[in-house]
Amino acid sequence: MDAESTPPPAKYRKVSKPEHSISISTVEMHTGGEPLRIVTSGFPNIEGETILQKRRYVKEHLDHLRKLLIFEPRGHFDMYGVILVKSDIPEADIAVLFMHNEGYSTMCGHAVIALGRFAIDNGYVKAKEPETNVNIQCPCGLVRAQVKCENGKSGSVGFVSVPAFAFATDVEVEVEGHGKVKVDISYGGAFYAFVSAEEFGLDVCNSGIEKLKNTATAVSDAVKKTVKLEHPDSDDLAFLYGTILTDGKDDYSSDPTANVCVFADKQVDRSPTGSGVTARVALQHHKGQIGLNQTRLFQNGMTGSKFTGKAVSQTKCGKFDAVTVEVSGHAFYTGTSTFTLEDDDPLKTGFLAK
């Protein structure tokens, strides 16, 4: 008799399973090393006519579930998640809200790359070879993904996001511990500050993660104190998401250029950052460092994972000269999960070890 069929000893009596007040199922993926937890069932109804209203509703009424899924013991400090919601625009195949350790983003490129595969593999969109279009409504607007399909299997994903633009260049801010530093600010579905790590004596590929994280956070704090952001579409989009430290190699080259993105509450992206690459390409185009349809490799300084990025057309976003940017990468499945909660769990609301 094998171990699986061996009955338990008679002295052990069977006890009833605990009751769970919450049960949420997810699909787990990663893009360039950056995790993505996609909620597939168990989330309460999210109210709101528009996706930005839904984002506000989740923030005001369901934030305990973000903490349950993102925080320890079910998640970790750098976990990232997606909630599928009902779209309010007819051309969207799926609509999503993004969540992280601090709250809710307006755009996430690594998530879009994963969601492209997820939408096809789970029947939201019918696969067509050699490429399938997947339209994803994000809080920043409609993002169009193109998924490579071959022999019934989804593959690499490219996406064209909302118009991206340089908001301000050479902005002088007072960075604690470093004095006055000039930074650039650009939008790629979310606003980022950009500065070369060399300004602080750091190397994005070799300096320790804590040094990079603390320096980028200090830059973000300085920009938030100094710069008032604005977006033509909505005030809900007018906030600094994070700082991207670069290797300073912004002129067009066939060689990869590396960066590390620190966003939200000192969260460190393991991928090159899809919305960050979008914003960086827009910034490079604004400065004349990259032309239209010049593909560039962007590399995460810690993991070495790569995305490609290129500006494909010029456009406008309100008063700003903008470009549409195509970013490409590959996502992979890592598993599925069902997360539960017992009401008498003293740590049921989650925690973060900082």
The catalytic residues are 108
Single-letter amino acid, residue 167? F
Number of CB atoms found within 10 A of residue 292's CB: 12
Task: For residue 351, list its beta bridge partners.
Answer: 72
Is 212 in contact with 204 (CB distance < 8 Å)? Answer: yes
Q: In whole angstroms, what is the distance from residue 222 CA to residue 33 CA?
A: 29
Where b means 16+ CB within 10 Å and e means fewer, 163-199 reads bbbbbeeebebebeeeeebebbbbbbbbbbbbbbbeb
> In a 3-state reduction of DSSP, which class is residue 316?
strand
Give me Rg for the CA atoms of the chain: 21
Q: In whole angstroms, what is the distance from residue 280 CA to residue 231 CA?
A: 17
